[in-house]
Amino acid sequence: MFGFIKRALKKTVDNIEENVEKKKKYATPEEIEEILIEADVEYDLVEKIVASLPSKVNRVALKNELLFLFRPVSLQLPDVKPFVELIIGVNGAGKTTTIAKLAYRYKQEGKSVILGAGDTFRAAAIEQLTRWAQKLDVPIVATKQGHDPSAVAYDTIQKAKAKDIDVVLIDTAGRLHTQSNLAEELKKIVRVCNKAMEGAPHRKLLVIDGTQGNSAINQAKAFNEIVGVDGIIVTKLDGTAKGGALLSISHELGLPILYVGTGEKMEDLVPFDPNEYVDTILDAIFE
């Protein structure tokens, strides 16, 4: 698994290296401040980090400060069957593809999976998820555009129970989080999931587009306020120099980053490792 995150952060690392004349044994807090801002770490957080650093900053001191910003992660699924995951996020963040990648991961772990095409707002989303289901050889519950997404969620969970399926992955519409009708729709889906199976959805995952950097934070806060997010997946990390934003996202939201998308292929979704992430950034700065 090691190396995936390093590859995904290549643009961020290249950007840092362009701004670091040569790798150092020690850096000043001012140099660290400049590097972190350039990597799209939010300004207030940069100030906070820098305020905790000594006047001569070595690798270990900075590593400890950065690691402290991440929440511990557990990818172990609870002993519940079916385990229901609701996938949320705005259009264009890579939600549908991420669901396919998650389904692929679960299948690799020997689990059976069913998909629910709950983004009934867009015909294209239903078609795309249906194509993925065929490619992955997993069942899917899908209806026509405009149908009630809560009904799709309910039917998917009922089918999973009837067929003794391990994991349910439900897609949701991604109209912008400012729309109150979407907020109500998401709340309704959560309520209906709980009707279909008490305690469901067991995990609500928010998909964030890594190329948006810090601007994704307000979006994430809004979704968290609507339904209460349990974890984050960051997509398109390989396509941006704003990889430092993961520090801000984790710190601001107080939520664990579970996975990062590192490319287009089905296997390009890897568990997020804060250690590897921080070491990759530090390798660009220190000897």
Give the amino acid at 200.
A
Q: What is the pLDDT of residue 1?
A: 46
pLDDT for 114 equals: 98
What is the pLDDT, as a whole number, of residue 173? 92
Determine, yes or no, domain membership for 236.
yes
Confidence at residue 176, expressed as pLDDT on a 0 to 100 scale: 62
Domain assignment present for 34? yes
Q: Which pLDDT value is given to residue 76? A: 86
Same-domain status, 46 and 98: no
Domain co-membership, 51 together with 193: no
How many whole angstroms separate alpha carbon 78 and alpha carbon 22? Answer: 47
pTM for the predicted model, two decimal places: 0.94
Q: Is residue 279 part of a domain?
A: no
231: containing domain: 83-274
In the chain, which stretches have pLDDT less than 70? 1-2, 176-178
Report pLDDT digits (tens) over 191-209.
999 999 999 999 999 999 9
Q: Are 93 and 147 in contact (CB under 8 A)?
A: no
Sheet with 269-271, strands from edge to edge, namely 140-141, 113-116, 167-171, 83-88, 203-209, 231-235, 257-261, 269-271
The CATH number of residue 105's host domain is 3.40.50.300
Instruction: Note whether 41 and 175 are same-domain residues.
Output: no
* Count of domains for the chain: 2
Contact 258, 205 (CB under 8 A): yes
Helical packing angle, 59-67 and 274-283, nearest 10°: 140
